[in-house]
A and B are shown apart, each in its own frame.
Chain A
Amino acid sequence: MRAPHHTNESDSHGIDLAPMLDFVLNLLIFFIITTSFVKESGIVVARPEADTAEHKESGNILISIRENGDVWMDRRQVDLREVRGIIERMHVERPEDSVVVIADKASKAGVVAQVMDEVRVGGIKDVALGATSTASE
């Protein structure tokens, strides 16, 4: 609130920087946290729909499988045999991470099974099959 005796705009002492600095710092912290938490796969696939799909708070390593069998994780396409090494590394960094395998509706079940096996061998036992929740909330 401006004091009543200030009639001229130029009388003010300039913008108070403290709240903005606060805000920017918060934003910075936020982005640092999100980048380290959610490991996006890098592509969008047509996910299957399910009534019973539940939101997984901890599912933060995403592996996408495309229609043609391409595997994407960590924002790049990876070979099926690379998955294990990457998962091992991520598991060491953050042992509480869990994996969500997001497979295209038209992808082959065999590839999904292989990816899930690689993840298990890599040390993460908590694997879920990604699906879009269709249940009315």
Chain B
Amino acid sequence: MLDFVLNLLIFFIITAVFVKESGMELNRPSGAADQVAEGGGSIPILVLEDGGVIVDGRPTDLRAVQANINRLHAVNPNKGVLVIADQDAQTGVVAAVVDQVRLGGIYNITFSTSS
């Protein structure tokens, strides 16, 4: 029995090492049409090629995204966020923006790119 328990232990240690995939849920707009028709609308965040971030029409520092989202989330809790990244924007910046939005309390994030 001790043998078996030890085996089980080893098994769980190994699986814990193996299964470590971490990530952030992202939606994709399913089509150009229903992107707009989503209930409650969404807060647009633009990520520019040079790493600039525009939240709801205003250029914002990456560190201020969370505060902005906090405020907008308080105003209308039903709104999701639409992250529109430039084709050539860096994924690192996009991930940072998504992270900030999640920290700001909105988990319904749609990821889209502008051509």
Contacts and interface: CB of A to CB of B under 8 A. Distances in A.
**A and B: interacting chains:** yes
Interface residues of A, number: 45
Nearest to A132: B22
A128 B23 contact: yes
Given A26-B11, A108-B91, A129 B21 contact: no
Given A50-B99, A51-B99, A106-B91, A129 B24 contact: yes
Interface string A118-137: 00100000111111110000
Interface stretch (B52-60, B70-78, B80-88): B80-88
Interface string B16-39: 001111111110101000000000
B79 interface: no
Contact of B3 (A23, A59, A110): A23
Contact of A108 (B4, B25, B28, B89): B89
Contacts of A102: 23
A23 B20 CA distance: 25
A110 B96 CA distance: 16
B113 interface: yes
A55 interface: yes
B91 A112 contact: yes
A106 B93 CA distance: 9
A113 B23 contact: no
A83 to B, nearest CB: 14
A30 B99 contact: no
A115 to B, nearest CB: 10
A22 B8 CA distance: 12
Contacts of B47: 109
B26 A127 contact: yes
A105 B90 contact: yes
Contact of B26 (A23, A56, A65, A128): A128
18 contacts: A34-B15, A54-B22, A54-B23, A55-B20, A55-B22, A56-B21, A60-B21, A105-B92, A105-B95, A106-B90, A108-B89, A109-B88, A109-B91, A110-B86, A112-B94, A113-B113, A128-B23, A129-B95
